[in-house]
């Protein structure tokens, strides 16, 4: 059995973003941390890395989508300064689901 990944961060800029957010924004499309490594500050570390990349590319906003029922993740992002700025509806099979779009404006 392989080790697998402990953490993963996928970001998108410009036309690669999954929503039309403009050239001043950077999207965090995926952030994963293996469950046994959660609650150790790695999530904040990955967010901080995305923010640094955004600053280095002169982006004004960092945004992400989070499932509306993932209360722990919503609270985590709010703690880091993200606010809900919209919603995105998607289909999971035949069922409509909703992601909150959460954005942090950089200083």
Using DSSP's 3-state secondary structure scheme, residue 86 falls into strand
Question: Domain 7-105, CATH 3.40.50.720 — does that match?
Answer: no
Q: Where are the domains of the chain?
A: 7-105
| pLDDT value at 2 more than 70 | no
Active-site residue set: 77
Q: What is the pTM (predicted TM-score) of this model?
A: 0.87
Look at residue 32 and give its three-state secondary structure: strand
> pLDDT tens digit string along 77-96?
999 999 999 998 888 888 88
């Amino acid at each position: 059995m392989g080790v697998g990944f402990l953490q993963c961060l996928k970001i998108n800029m410009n036309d690669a973003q999954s929503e039309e957010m403009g050239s001043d924004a950077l999207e965090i499309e995926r952030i994963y941390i293996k469950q046994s490594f959660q609650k150790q500050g790695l999530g904040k570390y990955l967010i901080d890395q995305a923010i640094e990349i955004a600053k280095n590319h002169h982006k004004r906003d960092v945004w992400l989508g989070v499932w509306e029922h993932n209360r722990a993740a919503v609270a985590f992002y709010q703690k880091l300064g993200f606010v809900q700025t919209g919603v995105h509806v998607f289909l999971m099979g035949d069922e409509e689901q909703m992601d909150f779009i959460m954005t942090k404006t950089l200083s």
